[in-house]
Structure 1
Amino acid sequence: MPRDSDAPLPLAHLRVMEAGEGVALAYAGKLFADFGATVVKLEPPGGDPLRRAPPLVESGAGPQSALFAWLNTNKRSVTRAPDAGAFDVLLDARPPGARGGEAPITALISWFGESGPYAGFAATDVTCRALAGVLAGTGPAEGPPAMLGGIAGAVVGGIAAFNAVAAALFSGAPRRLEVSIHEANVAIAEYQATQGLTHPEVDRRHGVNRFAPTSPLGVYRCREGWLGVTIVTPAQFRAFCDMIGAPELGRDPRFVMGIDRLRHADELEALFVPRLAERTADEWFAEALERRLPFAVVPDIARLLATPTHRARDAFGTVRIGEAAFEGPTVPQRLTRTPPLAGGRAPLPGEHDAATFPARPAAAPRRAGGLPLAGLRVVDLSMGWAGPLCTRQLADLGAEVLKVEALQYPDWWRGVDPRDAFFAERQYEKDIRFCVLNRNKAGITLDLSSAEGAALLRRLVRDADAVVENYAREVLPKLGLDYAALSRERPDLVMVSMPAFGGTGPWRDARAYGSTLEHASGLPSVSGEAHWPPTTNQLAYGDPIGGLNAAASLLAALLHRARTGEGQHVDLAQVECMFPLVAPWIVAQSATGSPGPRLGNRHPEHVPHGCFPCAGEGWLAVAVTDEAAWHGLCRAMGRADLAADPALTAAAGRRAREVALEAAIADWTRGRDAELAMAALQAEGVAAGVVRWPTRLYEDAHLRARGFWQETDRAWLGPHRQPSAPFRDAGGAPFAVRRPAPTLGEDNAAVLGGLLGLAPAELARLEAARVIGTEAIPVSQRKARAAVG
C-alpha cells in the first residue's frame, strides 16, 4: 500500500556521514537515508566512481548512473569533508591511510576486515563471494561454477553494517566497529558448510538448477512462461505428482526422500517436464497456491515490475537524479507505523557543498560498555533458517533471546525424520545447522495450541521488547497470539512477521522456501548463460537474505520506540528482500526498457572476467577492473606481448578479443594450484578469489587468522565450530559465542520458573500434561494423541 505522507520516519533524528566508495557503503547509507536520517555522502571532486556505472541516464547535468542514483536516494552530496564529529554515525569505507576523524559511532566497512591475510586484497563483488563459499555449488557439474554478477554480496555487507550500527545506536554508547563484507556473505553459505560435514553431496555441483539435498529444485519451461519448483517433503512430492496427473510417481518408493529424487533427477524430469509444458506457468501457480505447494512463476524483469501484488505493496518507487526518473526497489523493511520512503531524489556531485553541519551536543548513553543490545528481550517464535538467523544476529549483539518450540513440533531444522528411532536416539539434538543458527539463545517449550501454553506466552510477552515469528499467516490469529492480541499484553511491543509475499494481497498464504523467493524475485531470469533456462543461484538464497533484513527492520522499529515509546508491527515480505539483489537489472529495465543481456560469467565493465580452471579441480574467479589490473594480469602470466598491445589497453579492445584472452588465462591457471594463482594475481593488484567450497571455509587461512570459527561444545552434539558475526569492535576479537544452542526445553525452569515465577510443582504438572518438556514427541505418538483427543 502507498506510504502515508504523514507517517513519521523513524531515523529522522540521526545525522550520518558516508565516506569512501562501494556498494556496501552506499547501501548501508541508503537504509539510513530512506528511513529519514540526514545522510551526507562525501565524494571526491570528480564524483563517486559508481556514478559512471551502467546504465547511464541523462540527468540534464551530464550522464549519471541509474544504479548510483538508486543507491543514493534521499542523501546529500559534498566534495569537502565536514567534521565527522558533527555526525552521530560515520560509515567509512576509505582505505586506512585515507581516513580522517570519527563520529561517536564509526563503522569501518571493507571487503575483508581490518586484519588477516586478505585484508589488503583487491576485490569485486564476485571474487569476494567466491571466497565466501557462495558460488561453488552453482552451475554445470563439470564446471565452471556459475558466477552471478551484480551487487548481491555488497548488499549483504551493507545490511550487516546497518545492523551493527543500529544496535550501537540503540545502546547510545560510543562504538568503533569493523564490518567484513566477506564474513557477512559466509552466512549465505552456512547451510552447505554445516550440512556438508555429514552429507558430502551438499558440497558439490549437481548441474544447472540442481542442488542437494532435495529435488526437484529448479526452473522449468511451461506452455507459456517458466515455473519455479521446490519439493522437499514426501507429502509435497505426492501432491506435485497428483497435480501433474502422475500419482504413480508419488507412490514410487525410489522417490520418497529428496536426495533419492536428486539421484534419479534425469529420469524424473523426463517424466514431469513434458507435463509442465502442457499448461502455462500462471495456471500451475494458481493450482499450487490451492495445494499449498512452494512454487512461483519466474518473471522476467519487465513482468516483475508490472506484478500487481508487488505494485500494491509499494515494492518499487520512483528514483530521480537531475531530470531523469525511473523506478527501483523500495527498501524492504516494511514498518507499518513508520515505513521507509518509496524512492526519492539522488544528489548531483557536490550539490550540497554550501550546507553546514554544526556540532551536536554529546548524548548521554543509555547503557555504557558491554554488548550493544544487552538488556533487550526478544521472544523468538521462528523456525528454520530466515527467522532464526534474524534472532541470532540480535543474540550475537547481546539481546536475551527466548526461543519457543513445542514438543509436538520442534524447530524443523532439528530434523524432519518421522521414524521412531530418530526420536529415541535424540537425533533432533544432533543437527549442526540448528546449533549454528540458535547459539546465544535460551530455549523453552510451550504447546501454544493449549490454553495454558498460549497464556504463558502472553505472560512472557508482557516483559519482552520484541517478538519474531515466521509461521504461516493464519496460525497465530487462530491461536489468539497475533500482533493485535500480543500488543494488548505489551502496548509498545515490536513484532516482526515474515510471510513470503507479505501479509496482504492474493499471495499472502503462499508457501515458500528460500529457493521459491529467489524464483519469484526475477533474479534467475538474468542469471547464467544466455542459452540456459532461468538459473537458480543458490540452494535457498531467500532465507538468509530474509533473516538479515528482518533484523534490520526490528532494529529500525526499536530505535523509533526508544524515542517515542511506540511499538509497531513489521510486515516483512521476504520476496521483497530479494529485490535489492536484482536492483541493477530492475533500474536498467525501467530506465532503458531492457535489463541487458545475460552475460554468464562475464561482466558488463570488467574485461576479462570469469571463472578459470586450476590444478586439482580448483577454480579461480578473476576480474580485471581497469587498465592497471590488466597490466598486472599480464605481468603475473608473463605475457609481455599482451601488455604491449595498444589495442588491449582499453576495456573495449579487450572485449573484442575476449574469447582469446579467456583462453590465455585458462592456459595459465590450468597448471597452477588455485591458492598460488590467487596469490600471484593479488600480488599484482588483480582481483582474484578461489572459488571456495563451503566446507573448505573451516580451513580458510584468513578466517582462521581472524578467529572467525569459534570452538563450541554442546550436549548430544559435542565439539563443533561456530561462525562469528560479520561485525566486531574494531581491532578486537569477534563477538563471543557465549553459549551453545539450547537443547529442547533446556531453559524451562530458568525462564518459566525464574522469569514467570512458576513453582516446581506447577512446572511438573505442565510437563506431565506435555505443555512443556525436554523430549520431542514422536510423530507416531502425535497422531495417536490427536486421535484420542
Structure 2
Amino acid sequence: MIKHGFDPAQLALGGLRVLEVGSGPALAYAGKLFADFGAEVIKVESPAGDAWRQMPPMVSAPGAAQPESALFAWLNTNKRSVTAADGKAEDGAWLAQLARTCDVVLDARALTEGPGILGAPVWQGTAEDPQEHEPIEVALTWFGETGPYSHHAGAEAVCRGLAGAVHGSGPADGPPHMPHDVQTAIVVGLSAFSAAVAAVIGSGQGSRRYVLSAHEAIFSVVEMEAGMVQDNRHPLRRLGVNRFCGTHPAGIYWTAEGWIGIFTHTLPQWTGLCEAIGRPDLASDPRYANGQERMNRADEIDDLLVPAFLTRTAEQWFEILGDKKHPAVIVPTMETLLGQAVHRQRGAFVPVGVGGASFEGPVVPLPLDAAGPLPGGAAPAKGAHDLHYRTSGLDHRPRLQLARTASERLPLQGIRVVDLTMGWAGPLAARTLADFGAEIIKVESTGYPDWWRGANFTEAFYRDRLYEKNSNFNLMNRNKLGITLDLTRPEGKQLLLQLVEGADAVIENYSAEVLPKLGLDYEALRARNDRLVMLSMPAFGLGNAWSNTRAYGGTLEQASGLPLYTGHPEGPPAMTSYAYGDPIGGLNGGAAILLALFAQQATGQGRHINLSQVEAMLPMAAPFILEQSICGAVSPRQGNRHPMYAPHGCFRCTGEDAWIVLAVTDADWPALGRAIGRADLAADPRLAQAAGRRVEEERIDEAIKVWCAGRDPEAAMHLLQQAGVAAGVVRPMSQVPEDIHLRARGFWREVERAHIGTYTASTPWFRTGPQPTPVRNVAPTLGEHTEAVLSRVLGLGVDQIADLERQGITGTVAKPKRAKETP
C-alpha cells in the first residue's frame, strides 16, 4: 500500500461516506475526486468486476496471474470495492441499507439501464425501511430523464458528437477527429463532483437530488462556438487540422528538435512572431493586419513558418517567443512531459498502484495543500471490502444528517464571490458557483472591460456599444452581478478591499504579475479577511519559472501534449477546433473553489488555490501518461478507433459534410450487423468479440460506409437507435442550438438583454427537478449593478456613488483606449 504522509483529519472531504453505483469513467472520476480528498468511497461492482478493469493500458505485477488495467487503477485510487449482483433481492436490500449510511450517492445505473431506473433510488429500499436519512443523490444520464433522446443508447463519443464537440476538428474533407473517451469522462465527472460538493455545502437548504445529462455537460467544452454562431462569426465549416476560425497562425510546428505550439491572436503577438523569425516587415503588412486576414492566407504564412522554425529547437523558440510575450509552448511527448521540472516541482505526477504493480499517473489537479489531494494511491481488488460492509460497515452514521426537504433554494445561496476574471476559463469557474446560487460580483473597469466583450477597439466598438453585444460574454456570465471599479486608482482599490472583507471567495485569472503590481495579491486581500478563499489560475501556476507564460485555451492544450496523440495516423499532431484548455481550466477551477469553500465552512480557514491550467489538462492525457510510465513509450495514434469498442468512428452520410458516430460493444454488435443488412457479419463467430472485429475492422467499416452513404444522418441515427445501437449525428455547431432534444428539454431559452434584445441562452447542465435550472439573471451590462452593490453591500450613499462616477472610478460606458494585449 502506498504511504501518503497526509494527516487524514485535514483532508477536505474527510469524514464523508460516498457510494459509487454503476460503471464508466465519468462515474469513476467523480468518485476519484472524492476519494483523493479523503472521503470514504465505496465502489459497487458486479460479481464479474467492472468492465473498465479491462481497459488498456494494462500492467502486470511480478507473479500476478493476469494483467490489470492501469487506467482503471488511476480512476479508482483510494476507494473500497464491494460486489453486488443485479436482480438479486438480497443484494438490493443490503445495498439500500448501505446507501443510507452514506452522505452522497453517485449513481450511473441510468447509463446502462436507462433513466427509468432513477425512479427507484438505490437507497430507498422497501416501504418498511426507515427513511430518516436521505443521502444526496447525483445521477448521471446520457441525455437526461426527458426529451426525444432520453432513452437512446449512449456513449461518450455519441454524446460528444451530438453536442457539437466533434464536427469542427480534423481534416477539412473529414472524417472529423474523435478524442479518447476519458477526455469526455473527465468533463462529466468534474460536473458530477461539483454538483455533489455544492449540494454538501448547502445541505441545510438545497435539493438532495441532482440529475446530469452527459450530452449537456459536454456542450460546456464548445460553448464558445455557440456564441460565435449567434454573432455570425463562425465559419460554419471545418477549416482543417490546427486551423481555427478566429486567427492564424495557431498551430504546431516541427523545429530542429521537438514541436513548438503557438497561438497568435493580437497584433502585438503577430509583430513579436514576425520579429522572432527575422521578418519584421510582415508585421506592418496590411495583408496580415488581423486574425481573419491571416486565416485567409494561412497556407502562405505556414510556408514562411515551417522553414523558419527548423532553425532552432522547441526549447529555444519557447524562450525567444516568451520574451516577446507571444503565447508559445513546447508540445511535449509523454516522455518529455513526465520530465518537465515545472510539473515535477508541483507534484503533478504521483504513484498509482494495483495488484502489486506501481507506476505514475497525473495527480488530481485541484491543489489545496494539506487539505489534499492525496499524492497517489492504490486501487482496490474486486470485492476486497465485501466482508466489512456486509457486517460492521452498516453501523456507520453519516456525517450529514439529512432529512427529506422540499426546499427550492439553491445550495450556495448566501455565499458571496468577487469575480476578477475575463475570457472563458475564469468566468466559467465563477459561473459554476453562480448557477448553484452563489452571489457573484463581477468586477470590470470602464477602461478595461472583460476582453470577451470584444478586443477589436475600433470607433464602432465604443460608439455602437459592441462590447454589450458579444454572445460569448453573455453566455458565460449569466447569474452574475456586474460592477465597475478602476483598480489602478487608490479609490477603486480601496472599494475592492472593502468588498473582499465581506466575501467568502475571490476568483482571478489575470496574468501572474498583474495583481501583485496592483498591491492586490492574496496576502493583501487576506489581511482584510483571513477566512478568504482565493483561486488563481495561470497557465503553469504561480511561483515557478514558467508562471508568466502567456496562454490561450489552445496553448494549454498544446502544453499538455495531447495533440501528439490525437488525430488520424497519417496526419500531423492535431488540436481540437476549440480553445480546449479554457473550459477544462474553468471546470477544474469551479471544482477547486467549491472544495475550498467546503473546507472553509468546516474550519473557518482561508486558503490560496494555486491552480495550473496546464496541469488541469493532464487527466485528459492520463491513458498516454500511464502507458509511457509503464512501457517507456506510447502506442502510435489510432485515429478514431477505440481500445475496447469495434467498430468505432465517424461515417459519412448523404448531405454536405454529414456524418454519424458509432460506438459498438460486443453486446451491440449483432444488432448493428442486422440493422445495416449484414446478417452474415452479425452471425460470424469470429466477429463476436471486439478483438476479432478489430482484425476485420476495415472490412466492417466499409460495410457501414456503404449503408450510411445512402442515408440522411438523422435517419441513420434513428434506425440504429431503434436497433439499440449507440449512434448519433455529428452535429455542426450551427445545428446544436436547434437540436430537437435540447429544445424539447428547455436547455435553450430565449432571453432579453439591454443593447442586444433577444438572444438564445443555455441553461445549467444539472437539474433538481423536471424543469431546467433557471437563469435568474442574464449577463450584466457594463457596470449595471455598481450602484446597487456599493449601496447594499458597502453602505455608500447616493452622493458618494455619484462622485465615484464623476471621477471615472466607476461607470457604465467603456472608455476608448489603445489596443493592447490581454492580461
Partner of 1:349: 382
Of the candidates 159, 171, 192, which is equivalent to residue 128 of structure 1? 159
What is the alpha-carbon distance in structure 2 between the residues aligned to residue 337 and residue 591 of structure 1?
29
CA deviation after TM superposition for structure 1 residue 302, in Å:
1.3
Within the alignment, does 1:72 sit opposite 2:101 as a pair?
A: no
* CA apart distance, 1:337: 4.5
Cα displacement (A) at 1:592: 2.2
Q: Does the C-alpha gap of structure 1 residues 628 and 3 become closer, same or farther in structure 2, counting only changes over 3 Å?
A: closer
The aligned residue for residue 789 of structure 2 is: 751
**Conserved 8 A contact 1:498-1:574:** yes
Q: Are the structure 2 counterparts of residues 571 and 267 from structure 1 closer, same or farther at C-alpha, using a change threshold of 3 Å?
A: same
Task: Deviation per CA, 1:555-576: give whole Å up to 9, x if none.
Answer: 1011111111111110110001
Structure-2 change in CA distance of 1:61 and 1:399 (3 Å): farther
Q: Is the 8 A contact 1:190 1:694 kept in 2?
A: no
Runs of 5+ consecutive residues of structure 2 not aligned to the other structure? 85-94, 111-115, 125-133
1:92 alignment counterpart:
107
2:91 alignment partner in structure 1 = none
Is contact 1:192–1:203 with CA below 8 Å preserved after alignment?
Answer: no
The answer as to whether partners of 1:419 and 1:779 remain within 8 angstroms in 2 is no
Deviation at 1:779, TM superposition (A): 1.3
How far off is 1:704 after superposition? 1.2
Distance change >3 Å, CA 6–CA 329, structure 1 → 2 = same
Conserved in 2, the CA contact under 8 Å of 1:27 and 1:158?
yes
1:356-755 residue pairs with structure 2 within 5 A? 356-360=393-397, 363=401, 369-729=408-768, 731-755=769-793
Question: Secondary structure at the residue paired with 1:615?
Answer: coil
Query: Match of 2:123?
Result: 101
TM-superposed deviation, 1:781: 11
- Give the structure-2-normalised TM-score: 0.92
* d(CA) in 2 for partners of 1:747, 1:651: 58
Contact 2:652–2:660 at 8 Å: present in 1 too?
no
Q: How does 1:206-225 map to 2 (within 5 A)?
A: 206-225=239-258
Q: What number of residue pairs does the alignment pair up? A: 781
Q: One-letter code of the match for 1:763?
A: I
SS in 2 for 1:678: helix
Instruction: Give the counterpart of 2:805 among 767, 778, 781.
Output: 767
Q: Describe the SS at the equivalent of 1:627.
A: coil
The one-letter amino acid of 1:58's match is S
Equivalent residues of 2:156, 2:185 under 8 A apart: yes
Distance 1:83 1:647 in 2: 43
User: Any gaps of 5 or more consecutive residues in structure 1?
Assistant: 784-789
1:595, CA displacement in angstroms? 2.3
Residues 57-76 of structure 1, C-alpha deviation per residue, up to 9 Å, x if partnerless? 22536322110000000000
Q: Is the 8 A contact 1:304 1:522 kept in 2?
A: yes
Is 739-748 or 640-649 further displaced after alignment?
640-649
Shift of 1:653: 2.6
Query: What is the Cα deviation at residue 599 of structure 1?
Result: 0.6
- In structure 2, give the amino acid aligned to 1:68: F
> Judging changes above 3 Å, is the alpha-carbon distance between structure 1 residues 535 and 322 closer, same or farther for their aligned structure 2 residues?
same
Q: TM-score, normalised by structure 1?
A: 0.96
1:295 aligns to what? 328
Q: 1:326 to 1:351 in 2, by over 3 A?
A: same
How far the C-alpha of 1:407 sits from its partner, in A, is: 0.8
Whether the aligned pair in 1 keeps the contact of 2:225 and 2:234 (CA below 8 Å) is no
Q: Distance in 1 between matches of 2:746 and 2:37?
A: 34
Give the corresponding residue for 2:37.
Answer: 35
| Aligned residue in 2 for 1:246 | 279
Q: CA deviation at 1:754?
A: 2.1
CA distance 1:3–1:442, change in 2 (3 Å): farther
Measured in 1, the distance between the counterparts of 2:218 and 2:83 equals: 31
- Offset of residue 6 of structure 1: 4.1
1:260 aligns with 2:282: no
Distance across 2 between alignment mates of 1:323 and 1:57? 10
Residues 9-18 or 528-537, more deviating: 528-537
Which residue is equivalent to 2:113?
A: none
Decide whether the 8 Å contact of 2:222 with 2:578 is kept in 1: no
Q: Distance in 1 between matches of 2:496 and 2:412?
A: 22
Q: Distance in 1 between matches of 2:415 and 2:445?
A: 24
Relative distance call for 1:421 and 1:624 in structure 2 (3 A) is: closer
Task: Give the SS at the match of 1:109.
Answer: strand
Match of 1:190 in 2: 223
Give the C-alpha shift of residue 695 in structure 1: 2.3
* 1:169 Cα offset (Å): 0.4
Equivalent residue, structure 1, for 2:211: 178
Q: Is the 8 A contact 1:23 1:154 kept in 2?
A: yes
Asked if structure 2 preserves the Cα contact closer than 8 Å seen for 1:282 and 1:297, the reply is yes
- 2:170 match: 139
User: How far does residue 120 in structure 1 lie from its aligned partner after superposition?
Assistant: 1.9
CA-CA distance at 1:306 after TM superposition:
1.3
**Residues 335 and 628 in structure 2, CA contact (< 8 A), matched pair in contact too:** yes
Change (3 A) 1:201 1:743: closer
Over the aligned positions, Cα root-mean-square deviation in angstroms equals 1.9
Q: Given residue 493 of structure 1, which amino acid in structure 2 is its aligned partner?
A: L
- Matched to 1:217, the amino acid is A
